[in-house]
Amino acid sequence: MTESSAPTAAGRAKLGAFLGVFTPSILTILGVILFLRLGWVVGNVGLVPALVIVVIANAITLATALSVSAIATNMRVGAGGAYYILSRSLGLEVGGAIGVPLFLAQALSVTLYAFGLAESLQLFWPEAPQRAVAAVTVLAVSVIAGRSATLALKLQIPILACIALALLSLVVGVARAGTEAVPLWAGAEGGASFWVVFAVFFPAVTGIMAGVSLSGDLEDPQSAIPRGTIAAVLVGFAVYFTVPMVLAAAADPSTLVAESMIWFRVAFVPALIIPGLLGAILSSAVGSILGAPRTLQALASDRVVPRWLERGGDGSNGPTVAHLVSTGIALAAVGLGDLNAVAPVLTMFFLTTYGMINLVAGLEQLSGAPAYRPAIAVPWAVSLAGGAGCFWVMSLINLPAAILALVVEVGLYVGLRRRALSASWGDMRFGALMSLVRSSMLRLRHLPVAPRNWRPHILAFAGDLDRRIDLVRFAAWLNQDRGLLTVCHLEVGRLEDHATGLVPRQQKMQARLDDEGLIAFAEVHAVADFEDGAVAVAQAHGIGGIVSNTIMLGWSGKPARVVSALEIMKRSAMLGRSTVICRLAPRGWSPRPRRIDVWWGGLEHNGDMLLLFAHLLSLNPEWHGADISVKSVASGANPSTWTEERLRELLERSRIDAEPEVIEAPDDTPVQRVIHERSHDADIVFLGLRDPPDDEIVDYAARLQELVTGLPTVILVRAAGPFAGQLLETEGE
């Protein structure tokens, strides 16, 4: 899937900022609350508190408009409006989780506005059948919008003129009637509280996405969206700031609360209020029926919903399948009758969209991504404050509805994640996480490093994953999500011969790791020699304070390769890197509970790492509940009682669930025989390694071969680095 496959308006987009963005946005803002509820707002709390409500609500909306403008001027906004912005910024899963409810909210809003129109008609036609009027309204706006989006928007220009005439009639009527002293602070006796009134008013200033939803029909979205959206918010603010003062001068607070139709009583020409009121409601329905199909088409193009929903006309010269589906949903909702119970949840879907767009703009600015270069730069604090304001208002308006909407969106997100949708575009998640990683690494520089902070960052040289996938699985078990695991394949030869194949090989390795459910990073390097190359990669691997402190190699039955592994171990120890050599026996583990044997020597400072790895292994579901046995051979210098007491004290202090076992053997009994006798029936055996002198390394490799022969899976560990022998220390020890 590529971005170019999304439905676009290429070759047909003719709408500009005024007709395509400003008109639908301002007509959605100047809706039924302006005519029927603004007087109630002033009457309940008083003029000055009402103006404070207007300022706060419009500040949140303005922040959202600025965030939309910033994002729109930084990217090519395709069809789908808010869904397109979110999916290209936060990924398909988040975009779809918000886009699907947004589409349903847009479609059902057509029904809500249709019922609002029917209820308004009852003021003049009391016997009007509400459902019939609502159904006719849905069909009418659908036919107009389906025939031509441009025609539908042009029909809104007379509606805008009707609203302007209604406002003028109100102002002139109040001015001619004369006013008495206006009570600035006092509301009606027993009026609603400030925040209750705020919750009722806030939906009036939403609706700025009505124009953004037509992004695919705009000739120049990058220019039209900022100009049209910001202009609509500012004009809406001017109207909502002015009308409360006019209404406060027209009647006392009690009258404003009691008479929802106060405009008809005080207007200079009351008849002018009717087309303004009905036109405002009708235009909101038109905006919704234009936006819903375009959102659905964009969802279908990205395969969030079935692809067939994308079919049909281009939305400008004929109905699409998405348009017919949107109309069908709106008509079906008419049969439900009263939608008051659903309306709050729909409002929440709109508000989560606004909140997430603010969040995107703020995080993009914070991430400092070089690709984020909007023509309209908005401070991150403004965007994040706008996002916080949206979610805060959600809780004020209707907390249960807000929770329900969020639960629905989270459920959709989880479902889309399981579908593993893929997209070809990058999104802001990378930039945001990169910024967080950078900030964290810079802070890590100044924090003290102690044994208790040690984590197993393992660099596993696995070779061919088809043969060595179990080695990587053991590395993941030893890591147990406490550190970072990198799986490295070394191509031995000239760089010129392998350069073109390194990236494809790495991608193939990463895909295999992901398929196996192994959380690891894949790397492929070209080296002239395996031994030198492994040491060089281990030395250079990592950044800042996060380096691979442990390398892991697989056991080989060839003596020369065992010697090579020991050479790598010796040189890695000089670099402060520990080494793990894993000799995997064929799978045949005993039924649970399984047993892990840790052989504690004490002379090479390997014991703490051996025990820590055994503990991490036991945390994995595959090995959960395994019995850890810490075995030690008593010597004349360390009698068995003293050794056992010391081991018990260590295990208790380190809070590792293991059982010590001290073995007394005759002085002439080889340790190798003791290990074979005591651990041949274990499932995994942990043994320590030492650094043999260069002239003894071949003999040491041969002795290791004899030692591991006949044993189950053996993990050989050589601890190195500044904390060797200290990993089990407790704080202050």
Residue 3 banded pLDDT, cuts 50, 70, 90: very low
Question: Which strand (E) or helix (H) includes residue 630?
Answer: strand 627-634
Tens-digit pLDDT profile for residues 565-596: 999 999 999 998 999 999 988 766 666 678 99
Is the domain of 487 the same as that of 348?
no
Higher-pLDDT residue of 620 and 120 is: 620
Task: Give the list of residues 6+ apart from residue 511 with CB closer than 8 angstroms, or none.
Answer: none
- The average pLDDT across 387-393 equals 85
Tens-digit pLDDT profile for residues 449-476: 777 678 888 999 988 888 889 899 989 9
Q: Which residues, in sequence order, are bridge partners of residue 580?
A: 552, 717
Residues in the chain: 733
CATH number at residue 128: 1.20.1740.10
Is the domain of 177 the same as that of 301?
yes
CATH number at residue 536: 3.40.50.12370
- The average pLDDT across 306-319 equals 63
Is the domain of 568 the same as that of 677?
yes
If one counts the domains in the chain, the total is 2
* For the ranges 52-61, 64-73, 411-420, 720-729, the one whose mean pLDDT is highest: 52-61
Report pLDDT for 551: 93
Rg (C-alpha) for the chain, rounded Å, is 36
Report pLDDT for 431: 60
Task: Show the tokens assigned to 283.
Answer: 């235009």
- The average pLDDT across 367-381 equals 72
Nearest to 697 by CA among 530, 604, 584, 559: 559
Task: Show the tokens assigned to 239.
Answer: 């109207």
* Pairing of the two strands 542-543 and 546-547: antiparallel
Nearest to 295 by CA among 217, 190, 394, 204: 217
Residue 288 banded pLDDT, cuts 50, 70, 90: confident
Q: Which residues, in sequence order, are bridge partners of residue 542?
A: 547
Q: Is residue 445 part of a domain?
A: no
Is the domain of 410 the same as that of 461?
no
Report pLDDT for 11: 42
Share of the chain above pLDDT 70, in %: 87
Nearest to 580 by CA among 675, 475, 501: 475
Question: How would you label 618-641 residue by residue, b for 16+ Cβ within 10 Å and e otherwise?
Answer: bebeebeebbbbbbbbbeeeeeee
Task: Provide the 8-state DSSP code for 22.
Answer: I
Distances (CA, A) of 289 to 137, 303, 312, 343: 11, 22, 16, 17
- Alpha-carbon gap, residue 495 to 531, rounded angstroms: 16
Task: Show the tokens assigned to 10.
Answer: 């290429």
Q: Is residue 364 part of a domain?
A: no
Q: Is 517 left (phi over 0), alpha (psi -120 to 50) or beta?
A: left
Is the domain of 658 the same as that of 533?
yes
Tens-digit pLDDT profile for residues 209-223: 777 777 777 788 778
Q: Is residue 442 part of a domain?
A: no
Higher-pLDDT residue of 292 and 604 is: 292
SS3 label, residue 511 = helix
Is the domain of 511 the same as that of 400?
no
Does residue 6 register a pLDDT over 50? no
Does residue 374 register a pLDDT over 80? no
pTM for this entry: 0.64
Write down the H helix ranges in 178-272. 194-201, 209-212, 221-250, 253-258, 262-266
- Alpha-carbon gap, residue 515 to 493, rounded angstroms: 29
Does residue 375 register a pLDDT over 90? no
Report pLDDT for 7: 42
Q: Is residue 373 part of a domain?
A: no
Is the domain of 516 the same as that of 654?
yes
Report pLDDT for 590: 65
Distances (CA, A) of 86 to 23, 105, 210, 298: 23, 17, 16, 12
Complete DSSP assignment for 129-150: -HHHHHHHHHHHHHHHHHH-HH
Q: Contact, 467 vs 489, CB < 8 A?
A: no
- Alpha-carbon gap, residue 658 to 647, rounded angstroms: 10
Is the domain of 408 the same as that of 481?
no
Tens-digit pLDDT profile for residues 475-520: 998 888 788 899 999 989 888 888 898 999 999 999 999 888 888 9
Report pLDDT for 619: 84
Mean pLDDT across the chain: 80
The residue range of the domain holding 478 is: 452-718
Is the domain of 507 the same as that of 564?
yes
- The average pLDDT across 116-132 equals 77
Q: Between 221-250 and 38-45, two packed helices, what is the crossing angle to 10 degrees? A: 50
Residue 693 CB neighbour total at 10 angstroms: 9
Does residue 412 register a pLDDT over 50? yes
Question: How would you label 642-661 residue by residue, b for 16+ Cβ within 10 Å and e otherwise?
Answer: ebbebbeebbeebebebebb
Residue 733 banded pLDDT, cuts 50, 70, 90: very low
Task: Show the tokens assigned to 722.
Answer: 């500044």
- The average pLDDT across 429-433 equals 61
- Alpha-carbon gap, residue 414 to 356, rounded angstroms: 17
Q: Is residue 403 part of a domain?
A: yes
Does residue 715 register a pLDDT over 90? yes
Least confident range of 156-170, 303-317, 674-688: 303-317
Question: How would you label 143-180 residue by residue, b for 16+ Cβ within 10 Å and e otherwise?
Answer: ebbbeebbebbebbeebbebbeebbebbbebbeeeeee
- The average pLDDT across 587-610 equals 77
- Alpha-carbon gap, residue 184 to 194, rounded angstroms: 14
Q: Is residue 252 part of a domain?
A: yes
Is the domain of 560 the same as that of 630?
yes
Q: Is residue 78 part of a domain?
A: yes
Q: Virtual CA dihedral for 444, 445, 448, 452, nearest 10 degrees?
A: 40
Does residue 330 register a pLDDT over 90? no
Q: Contact, 102 vs 86, CB < 8 A?
A: no
Is the domain of 85 the same as that of 207?
yes
Report pLDDT for 371: 59
- The average pLDDT across 296-316 equals 73
Is the domain of 334 the same as that of 464?
no
Q: Is residue 212 part of a domain?
A: yes
